[in-house]
Structure 1
Amino acid sequence: MESRENEESIIQNLKDAGCNAETIENFMAALREGNQAHGLKQLAAYRRTLLDVIHQEQKYIDCLDYLVYQMQKSEKRSV
């Protein structure tokens, strides 16, 4: 770890990314132990989790869009 200021910056970045306290502590512990590779694996796993959430939310949006499309299509036919 370079400096206290750098450590605080990393912690803030992790918070901004939505990491919980446990994830932050595990990541920082890996860095303090000089195991940056393990820390990067943790971040990659967290990133995959975030992407899974985004993809699920996108499916919900797609379903709503399809419903709106079908309703608008049906409305045009009845006019």
Structure 2
Amino acid sequence: MNGPSKEDQLFQNLKDAGCDGRTVETFFKLRKEGRQKEVLRLLSLHRASLLDQLHVSQQRLDCLDYLIYTMKRERT
């Protein structure tokens, strides 16, 4: 019994990484055309987008942590 195909594994990895349908479609198109440099650029752009989102979330957490800290300090 064979496991998932390479294409299925790539598709699942892209979805797990949060790639939208357009990005997945572009990935497979570029890959099929052998445009490795563009494939890597596409993945790098998605990675940068995820990192930006992470930084925004971190800033929000920092704000919330500060609010919690100040409220606890006022209480004592």
Matched with 1:14 is: 14
Q: Percent identity?
A: 42
Q: Give the number of the structure whose alpha-carbon radius of gyration is greater.
A: 1
Stretches of structure 2 lacking an aligned partner (at least 5 in a row): none
The alignment yields a C-alpha RMSD, in angstroms, of 1.3
In structure 2, how many angstroms separate the alpha carbons of the residues matched to 1:60 and 1:34? 41
The alpha carbon displacement at 1:61 in A equals: 0.7
Q: Give the TM-score normalised by the residue count of structure 2.
A: 0.90
Matched with 1:32 is: 32
More relative contact order, 1 or 2 (CA 8 Å, 6+ apart): 1
- SS of 1:66's partner is helix
Matched with 1:61 is: 61
In structure 1, how many angstroms separate the alpha carbons of the residues matched to 2:68 and 2:9? 44
Structure 1 segments of 4 or more deviating over 6 A? none
In structure 2, how many angstroms separate the alpha carbons of the residues matched to 1:12 and 1:68? 39
The alpha carbon displacement at 1:37 in A equals: 1.2
